[in-house]
Structure 1
Amino acid sequence: MPLCHPRPQNKPRGDSVHHSPPEEEITPARDTEHRRVAAATIIGTAIEWYDYFLYAMAAALVFRQLMFSGLSSGASTIVAFLTVGISFLFRPLGAFLAGHYGDKIGRRKVLMLTLIVMGTATALIGLLPTYETIGAASPILLITLRIIQGISAGGEWGGAVLMAVEHAPVRQRGLYGACPQIGVPAGLLLASGVLAVMSQIAPGDAFLTWGWRVPFLLSFLLIIVGAWIRHSVEESPVFVEMAELAETESAPVKTLFRKHSPLVFVAALIFAGNSAVGYMTTGGYIQGYATDPDGPVGLSRDDVLWAVTGSAVTWLIFTLFAGWFSDRVGRRTSYIIGFILQFLGVLVVFPLVNTANVGLFFLGIGFLTLGLGLTYGQQAALYAEIFPASIRFSGVSISYAIGAIVGGAFAPMIAAWLVQTTGTTNAVTVYLGAMTLIGLAAVLSLRDRSGIPLGPEHEAEQNVSPIRWLSRT
């Protein structure tokens, strides 16, 4: 498998791909720009999701003790995970705002803004006083900053994936689109890795006193790095062409829902099937469940953090593979295979976690990431190819945000409630299995549009609905 920024190849596509675009002439200058965009989307999204996942992990490991200490142990756990989910309710707002302005003023400007907003909110969390210091003001400020993170995350993903896919060679959209996708497991890897390091530097009470703050304050530095990298890339060629032709929509969100509401719904369910399962680790649930001293597993915090860090590596690898694989067999086929493997991962993860054996714990979450990667790497290309150019930023951002609410938003809280109610993780397995099957059904409802032209001059073709039972939007 090639790296994320390979030299373009001129190999023919498989039979499952329905479009056969003409070969592109790739000059050295364009090849260099492709590589620069790929690197920028990986690093930028990794920084954004580092910020976002850091909160989720801290909610399980720190905030339930420091910010919600006025509640009982069980209630503080549920409320801590509730604050993780609250941010998802504001991601559609970020998606609406970013989609509107991304389709009107460009992808690049919106991405710069989301990076700065996310990083600032994250760093400020690292400066927050605890409940013992300022009482109820502490959780209120924490929730406020988490909401700001949610708004930023809602706008980040759409811009990043469109920069990658719209810059990409036609025959390698899946691979290049996987670049911002691997920023997600890279962010998880970075967040869990930094927390694991700080847990060793500041063990025991020192971690709760000051050690947890360092990863949040590190975001100040990451803002500078990310902004510099994103400033170096050119605007999406599709948006440049739209601006030159004066074909930007005056109200892209309104047009999206008027013409493509069923497509938004189907696209959202595809991501919901992935995110509900993914947020077992990215949302901090498995970390909290496995380290709970009163729970059935009782693993050490260090062991769990390092295992999750290792699983982030396997997730990253299979996410990148999924993008490459989808260029060979089509987005739809690669998704079907991915959801089947994800379903198998759901069936085995909690039985292995519940053994309280570190090696089997890692095996369980590592196998789960195989399916997660194979239902995530191709998502950027699939989303870009199913929405018309003039409303594409709005379409991919809003679908992603809605899918995150339906799937991942409250998955950790639901899992915690199911375990407390039933006393077993079997109900969680049923819940995650059902969400996986919903994602699979949504994929089966779509035609494969791999390779469809993305430029504004092909809007008529793009406006034909990819939903199998609809001929037009």
Structure 2
Amino acid sequence: MSVTTRSTQPEGESEYERRKRLRTVTAASLLGTTVEWYDFFLYATAAALVFNQLFFPDESSFVGTMLAFATFAVGFVVRPIGGVVFGHIGDRIGRKKTLALTMFLMGIATALMGVLPTHEQIGVLAPLLLLILRVAQGFAIGGEWAGAVLLSVEHSPKGKRGLFGSIPQVGLALGLALGTLVFAILQVVFDDEQFLAYGWRIAFLLSLVLVVVGFVVRLKVDETPAFQEVTELSKQSSMPIRDTFRKPNTRTTVLGMLSRWGEGAAFNTWGVFAITYATGTLAFDRVPVLLVVTLAALVMAALIPVSGVLTDRFGARQMYLVGIAAYGVLVFPVFALFGTENLAWFTVAMVVVFGVVHSVFYGAQGTLYASLYPAEIRYTGLSVVYQFSGVYASGLTPMILTALIAAGGGSPWFACLYLVLTAVVSVVATSAIRNEDLHLTTGR
């Protein structure tokens, strides 16, 4: 029998103590996810602009880019393993300790990338070491997202579960914005030769400072009331991964993973692939493109809490459906605007589809997926849905789009059809999730 989550306000807690606890939870979730996603997507930006030249220099431009994106995808392949391992730890010993561990591992891996020798210096060992560090990044992020979402959702006040569930999602947008902004600044400060020689490394080494700040804040947060209840009642699952795929959870796990396909494909199209497409096919300068992605990510960060508030009013499933459907409808018009090869229209398209539309469903996603599982297996279940689907929904997207555009002789329309398909699958799967499948409720 599953544990029913108790009130998120501990007995005897004063109003001042409650507000202080919630401020700490908010800071821990937001800072932590910002740092972790900055680290993870910093690699994506570098794969598009740096790694294809420094670590795969003997290949053609197309092959070098594909190899760089292949190592990017490896991080997503490893994420399910990290999700299972850290999900088990999070469901057995708690959310707080697990999150501190994932942040430490991510920070070390990213900082080491900043001092990694290039192919010119150590030959084939360079891409091999890059691959190993990418594996470490993927392993760490595999346990990060679910824990950060649960830290917020399971501490949320009554009637504000959607808003608090959206807070970690803001961290993803801020992490992406911070990464692209830092790269843009470094390319302004340094010329091309200096940037490739050492300038790009500064962005990776900066991770150490961010990790220390996030680590300290996370150590101050209390364990969630839901996990405390599970512990007090001795209801921990002996094997959370098994129970995630055992009835009645089998259905929600499959539907959750399918519903994520559109979101993962969308994010990695607009946040990762678009950088390569704009600087390569459209021949835009790198700095303006990075600034456009930064702007879109900042708009997303500002609007995600709005999505969280609307989630509390209308429900997580409904908000997710509306956003995913809008993404599917806009794919062809967005690429048509890209095709004008006009930076202004590129900016408008990115702000609308990435900044506005993505915020609608991404703000509701954490709360929706947290609702799919009872507290005793929630960390593992949430990790499975998000990280297993990330392999095909997120990690492979840049490679698939690059290959489809090449197959179409440079035309993006095959790629657009693929993206629309991901939206259709997600809409159907989300629609199939029933109210009785949800263990946490939102909306009126």
**What are the residue-to-residue correspondences of 1:284-295 with 2, within 5 Å?**
284-292=272-280, 295=281
Tell me the amino acid that sits aligned with residue 114 of structure 1.
T
Residue of structure 1 in register with 2:242 after alignment = 254
1:138 aligned partner? 126
CA distance in 2, matches of 1:450, 1:315: 29
1:123-202 paired onto structure 2 within 5 Å: 123-202=111-190
Selected match of 2:331 from 343, 346, 356: 346
Q: What CA deviation, in whole Å up to 9, does each residue of 1:117-145 have, x standing for no partner? A: 01110110110111111110000000110
Indicate how the Cα distance of structure 1 residues 451 and 317 shifts in structure 2: closer, same or farther if over 3 A, else same: farther
Preserved contact between residue 382 and residue 449 of structure 1 (Cα < 8 Å): no
- What are the equivalent positions in structure 2 for 1:253-272 lying under 5 Å apart? 253-259=241-247, 260-272=249-261
Q: Distance in 2 between matches of 1:79 and 1:171?
A: 47
Is 2:419 the counterpart of 1:429? Answer: no
Cα offset, 1:195, TM superposition: 0.6
Which of 312, 329, 347 pairs up with 2:314?
Answer: 329
Range that drifts further, 29-38 or 76-85 = 29-38
1:385 touches 1:449 (CA, 8 Å); kept in 2? no
Tell me how far apart the structure 2 counterparts of residues 26 and 173 of structure 1 sit (CA, whole Å): 20
Counterpart contact for 1:330–1:448, Cα < 8 Å? no
Does 1:233 pair with 2:218?
A: no
Residues 359 and 277 of structure 1: CA distance in aligned 2, closer, same or farther (over 3 Å): same
1:400 maps to amino acid:
Y
Superposed displacement of residue 31, structure 1: 2.3
2:377 is the counterpart of 1:404: no
Distance 1:170 1:449 in 2: 20
The sequence identity of aligned pairs, in percent, is: 38
Note if contact 1:332-1:447 (Cα within 8 Å) is conserved in structure 2.
no
Is 1:106 aligned to residue 91 of structure 2? no
Contact 2:184 2:287 (8 Å CA) reproduced: yes
Give the stretch that moved more between structures: 238-247 or 54-63: 238-247
Hey, which bits of structure 1, 4+ residues long, moved more than 6 A?
21-26
**CA deviations over 1:216-274 (Å, ceiling 9, x no partner):** 01111111111011111111111111111111111111122123222111111222210
Q: 1:386 aligns with which of 367, 372, 380?
A: 372
1:9-24, aligned counterparts within 5 Å?
none
Residues 327 and 357 in structure 2, CA contact (< 8 A), matched pair in contact too: yes
Q: Residue in 2 aligned with 1:415?
A: 401
**Conserved in 2, the CA contact under 8 Å of 1:68 and 1:131?**
yes
> What residue in structure 2 maps to residue 8 of structure 1?
none
Partner amino acid for 1:351? A
Q: Is the 8 A contact 1:340 1:371 kept in 2?
A: no
Q: Is residue 2:288 matched to residue 1:303?
A: yes
Give yes or no for contact 1:343–1:371 (8 Å, CA) kept in 2: no
TM-fit CA distance, 1:22? 9.2
Q: Shift of the alpha carbon at 1:452?
A: 5.0
TM normalised by structure 2 equals: 0.94
State the superposition RMSD in angstroms.
Answer: 1.9
Partner of 1:470: none
One-letter code aligned to 1:104: R
Aligned with residue 381 of structure 2, among 395, 400, 403:
395
What does residue range 202-221 of structure 1 map to in structure 2 within 5 Å?
202-221=190-209
Amino acid at match of 1:170: K
Question: Corresponding residue for 1:319?
Answer: 304
Structure 1, unpaired ranges of 5+: 1-20, 455-473
**Residue of structure 2 equivalent to 1:6:** none
1:444 aligns with 2:431: yes
C-alpha contact 1:102 1:159 (8 A) present in aligned 2: yes
Deviations 1:9-29, CA, capped at 9 Å, x for gaps: xxxxxxxxxxxx999798231
Tell me if structure 2 keeps the 8 A contact 1:115–1:223: yes
How far off its partner does 1:323 sit?
Answer: 1.3
Q: 1:401 to 1:364 in 2, by over 3 A?
A: same
- The alpha carbon displacement at 1:315 in A equals 1.6
Letter in 1 for 2:407: T
- Does structure 2 conserve the Cα–Cα contact (< 8 Å) formed by 1:345 and 1:367? no
| Secondary structure, aligned partner of 1:280 | helix
Can you list the C-alpha shifts for 1:250-299, whole angstroms capped at 9, x where unaligned?
Answer: 111112212322211111122221011110133x211111112xx3x100
Amino acid at match of 1:386: L
Asked whether the equivalents of residues 372 and 437 of structure 2 are also in contact (C-alpha less than 8 Å), the reply is: no
Query: Residue 418 of structure 1 contacts residue 425 of structure 1 at CA under 8 Å; is this kept in 2?
Result: yes
Secondary structure of 1:436's match? helix
Does structure 2 conserve the Cα–Cα contact (< 8 Å) formed by 1:122 and 1:145? yes
Does residue 359 (structure 1) correspond to residue 344 (structure 2)? The answer is yes
1:64 and 1:77 in contact (8 A); partners too: yes
Contact 1:264 1:399 in 2 (8 A): yes
Which amino acid in structure 1 is aligned with residue 101 of structure 2?
A: L
Cα distance change of structure 1 residues 416 and 451 upon mapping to structure 2, 3 Å threshold: closer
C-alpha deviation, 1:449, in angstroms: 6.5
Contact 1:91 1:151 in 2 (8 A): yes
Distance of aligned partners of 1:399 and 1:26 in 2 relative to their CA distance in 1, 3 Å threshold = farther
Task: Kindly state the Cα deviation for residue 345 of structure 1 after the two structures are TM-superposed.
Answer: 2.8
Residue 377 (str. 1) matches residue 383 (str. 2): no
On the 8 A contact 1:386/1:449 being kept in 2, the answer is: no
- In the alignment of these two chains, the number of paired residues is 431
For residue 387 of structure 1, what is the amino acid of its counterpart?
Y
Structure-1 separation of matches of 2:20 and 2:295: 31
Corresponding residue for 1:57?
A: 45
- Which is richer in helix? 2
User: Which secondary structure does the structure 2 equivalent of 1:267 belong to?
Assistant: helix
* Partner Cα distance (2:258, 2:381) in 1: 14
Structure 2 residues not aligned, in runs of 5+: 1-5
